[in-house]
Structure 1
């Protein structure tokens, strides 16, 4: 992997996207930044981070996705790479809040944003953005946010974590062709609130109870409703209330 370290940048995803549009960029090239001025999460949500305290990175992934029906496979790969890495650091009660939030107990400690673009001959190039709260200990007006430092009461080496995550992304992609079903099973088993009744709100702001059963091949959340039917929801169609 090639690592490009920056001090301050609007967005590591946007920087890597611009770089790959101008020149041939090596697979698994990583951009990291101490400060991100215009970080974003799912559906345009703003990602705030205290300068120098957290892991802010983007990774270029090529030659893994080849059609639009399989793009969620990369979400599975990256989420598992982060979870496996953090387990090695004994971060407690880890889970994946669908589709891409990394949780410790009921607190969010990280978020993933994957942006895909179709290049020549239909090949899909992906830019994987990851924000991981590492050593930040104060989160004003963010009661559901936490960090590795807060949950473990110690300081962590951000770059060491970065190398481990990218290494695991590479490893999981390499084994994906023969282990896809077991990787998906691992992803489902790591889901936040899997198998327990949870309150949700739909796109019409109607609240309902349901049980997360899994995720479809195209990345839709499968929820068992009170009448025992299982419905599938995309990101904009449902929100968990917890």
Structure 2
């Protein structure tokens, strides 16, 4: 069920409430303390975009395979945009890009029950109809800008919900190979030499070769070895 509210601090915080069950979506017009990856804040003008959190209860999924859930969510979003005529790519770990510009931010927060996941809250911000952005943002874009037309936000959300049902069913069936294949094929910058940055700020050049099932990014350093990086061990520099 979709629960639509006018204002909250963060939909991810709201979605932790036990009254929300598997498949429920909390959609807010305004977030006063929205969060993104790497501790960034997330803001959105009222009435133009989609800011919501999805509740999932993937109790069948081992903790060591939790990245498969991230893949399913990211792929469901790219499926959604394909239906709208917008070609997108997944920037590891799970930002969605149209061209070289960020269309979606995702923040996934898990809780665990022994060796498996218990409950997952997926916070998603989709730029839908916004056409003017804060100049401080490095590279934003919206569906409206990418497609040259406006969208009904409720229809976009419903399309995503249906596409996620399909991808989640793959996950439940244990069809990890298909999820991993599709995720790799849709990776932003796959096979290209790109600039990355170590946590200390040191840049380096490498080619993206893929991602491990456990989520590590595989980078072939220019003139060097193939190495794997966990989230926060490397930053993708988008110019």
Cα RMSD of the aligned pairs, angstroms, is: 1.6
- Tell me the residue number matched to 2:109: 115
Name whichever structure is richer in helix by fraction: 1
Matches within 5 A, 1:67-216: 67-92=62-87, 94-119=88-113, 123-141=117-135, 142-176=137-171, 177-216=173-212
Asked whether 1:33 is paired with 2:23, we answer: no
- Tell me the residue number matched to 1:4: 3
Shift of 1:227: 3.1
Q: Deviation string for 1:210-235 (max 9, x for gaps)?
A: 00011112211110012342111112
Give the aligned length. 236
Determine which of 195, 220, 225 is the counterpart of 2:221. Answer: 225
User: Are the aligned partners of 1:64 and 1:173 in contact in 2 as well (CA < 8 Å)?
Assistant: no
For 1:143 and 1:63, how far apart are their aligned partners in 2? 34
For 2:114 and 2:174, how far apart are their aligned partners in 1? 27
Shift of 1:204: 2.3
SS of 2:232 mapped into structure 1:
helix
SS of 2:42 mapped into structure 1:
coil
For 1:30 and 1:69, how far apart are their aligned partners in 2? 26
Gaps of 5+ in 1: none
Change (3 A) 1:194 1:27: same
User: Are the aligned partners of 1:67 and 1:124 in contact in 2 as well (CA < 8 Å)?
Assistant: no
Shift of 1:107: 0.5
Q: Deviation string for 1:141-199 (max 9, x for gaps)?
A: 22401101111221101111111111221221112325320111110110110001001
For 1:178 and 1:233, how far apart are their aligned partners in 2? 25
TM-score of the superposed pair, with normalisation by structure 1: 0.92
SS of 1:237 mapped into structure 2:
coil
For 2:107 and 2:235, how far apart are their aligned partners in 1? 17
Gaps of 5+ in 2: none
SS of 1:198 mapped into structure 2:
strand
